[in-house]
């Protein structure tokens, strides 16, 4: 799939290159933006202006979508790992992870 995507990207870039060979300053997104800001469109034809902005928006901003938030199905647990230094029998000091597990009903202040 990745190879076919790069082929499509190259074909798209080639088409734009051919168009820009004839019209060096042309870019389709910029042309739509210019159209939206023409005097005979801006403020005169709100539907056309809206359609142009709707067409340009995906090239300027990521599309947002809603996400459903569901409560966890299993009993929720909060797991916090603490690190502390431990001195070994040979005198060496090492940092070890100490898990701290609490049930959700129990409130543990973080202060």
Identify whether the C-beta of residue 97 lies closer than 8 Å to the C-beta of residue 81.
yes
| Residue carrying structure tokens 């609490």 | 102
Here the tokens at position 54 are 């709707």
Here the tokens at position 89 are 């029998």
Per DSSP, the residues of 39-59 read TTTTTT-HHHHHHHHHHHHHH
Question: What mean pLDDT do residues 80-84 have?
Answer: 70
Return the pLDDT at 56: 92
| pLDDT tens digit sequence for 6-27 | 666 666 668 888 889 999 999 9
Return the pLDDT at 68: 84
pTM of the model: 0.45
Return the pLDDT at 107: 62
Please tell me the distance from the alpha carbon of residue 39 to that of residue 78, in angstroms, as a whole number: 59
Please tell me the distance from the alpha carbon of residue 12 to that of residue 19, in angstroms, as a whole number: 11
Identify whether the C-beta of residue 90 lies closer than 8 Å to the C-beta of residue 65.
no
**Domain range list for the chain:** 2-60
């Amino acid at each position: 799939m990745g190879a076919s995507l790069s082929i499509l990207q190259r074909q798209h870039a080639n088409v734009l290159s051919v168009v820009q060979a004839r019209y060096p300053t042309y870019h389709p997104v910029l042309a739509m933006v210019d159209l939206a800001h023409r005097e005979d469109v801006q403020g005169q034809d709100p539907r056309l202006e809206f359609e142009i902005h709707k067409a340009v928006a995906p090239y300027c901003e990521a599309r947002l979508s809603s996400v459903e938030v569901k409560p966890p199905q299993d009993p929720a647990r909060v797991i916090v790992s603490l690190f502390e230094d431990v001195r070994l029998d040979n005198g060496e000091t090492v940092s070890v992870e100490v898990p701290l597990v609490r049930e959700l009903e129990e409130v543990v202040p973080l202060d």
